[in-house]
Amino acid sequence: MLLCTALCGKLPGGLLTLTFWAVQKRIRMLSSLPVAAVCQMTSTPDKEANFTACERLIKQAKEGGASMVFLPEGFDYIGSSREETLHHSESLDGDIITRYTHLARKLNVWLSLGGFHERGHDWKYDQRIYNSHILINGQGEIVSVYRKGHLFDVEITSKAVSLKESAFTIPGPRLLPPVQTPIGKVGLGVCYDLRFPELSSALQRHGAEILTYPSAFTVVTGTAHWEVLLRARAIETQCFVIAAAQVGAHHAKRTSYGHALVIDPWGVVLGDCGGSDVGVAMVQIDLQGLNDIRRDMPVLQHQREKEYYSSLD
């Protein structure tokens, strides 16, 4: 409305009416946009306490008008050892996911549950897990299960960072098609997948409007790379990016960076949960704005054939 006021004195009467009507229409449209809620929490090895914390965040988001709620990697728990991590793991039909399907149905809200410790298909013999991103619809049905493809095996001696996810985790076999949700078509990744633009580009080519990376970044890597990577994925794919996050100390051995973010297709940060507190950020998802950006800067149409990019091989 301020923009309209600034321009109105310079416009002919008929155009004044048209401009005012257009602004009013835009305001009504924005008020009806779907709302996404990105959550930030501090998981511990205590699965019951973690569920209680997540339930509180989900209910808060639903009361705020969210159609879809995004939880971070390790929402179920973050273990303090390999043994504890494996011991607490469950199958998809176990207690934890069953409780979330009931909660989604009760509240009629979609849930993105990123980084669930899912027991592998050969658990009895293999004793390894998947790092699984699960989508549950408002009827309480599991509609997609993406298993993280890129495992975080990193030794940064100078920064005292040492993690080897592959010691107990099976890499997922494939990407999954984006899922139509109340906020748009959502493409699934998990945490370290964020560093691989090939994944986000593949999801975008198959129709993704929103990319989501539930995460538990370390403080060291988060401080240096988190926002930069998320904004890069948003800009290069012209997608919204939603990244729920862990924050703070989970136990004596591990602390997470926080800053759960929502970023628009232009690379603008729309929501940030900060670096210290548990909470939720609510953001409207404007798919018309996304389409406008893709129309005005048609990057996909400017891409060359595959042979061009492999011509150095």
pLDDT digits (tens, 9 = 90+) for 92-103: 999 999 999 999
| Residue 21 banded pLDDT, cuts 50, 70, 90 | very low
For the chain, domain boundaries: 34-309
Judge contact between 111 and 147, C-beta under 8 A.
Answer: no
The whole-model pTM stands at 0.89
pLDDT over threshold 80, residue 140: yes
Looking at the domain 34-309, which fold is it? Answer: Nitrilase/N-carbamoyl-D-aminoacid amidohydrolase (3.60.110)
User: How many CA atoms, within 13 angstroms, populate the side-chain half-sphere of residue 152?
Assistant: 19
What's the confidence (pLDDT) of residue 30? 61
Question: 284 to each of 26, 135, 255, how far by Cα in Å?
Answer: 14, 20, 30
The pLDDT assigned to 154 comes to: 82
Residue 245, pLDDT above cutoff 50: yes
Rounded Cα distance, 238 and 302, in Å: 13
**Residue that the structure tokens 């960076």 belong to:** 257
Mind telling me the catalytic residues? 73, 148, 191
Spell out the residues 6+ positions from residue 229 whose beta carbon is closer than 8 angstroms to its own.
194, 195
260-306 pLDDT, tens digit each: 999 999 999 999 999 999 999 999 999 999 999 999 999 989 999 98
At residue 163, the 3 state secondary structure works out as: strand
pLDDT tens digits, one per residue of 51-76: 999 999 999 999 999 999 999 999 99
Distance, CA of 42 to CA of 51 (rounded, Å): 11
Q: What's the start-to-end Cα distance of the chain, in Å?
A: 55
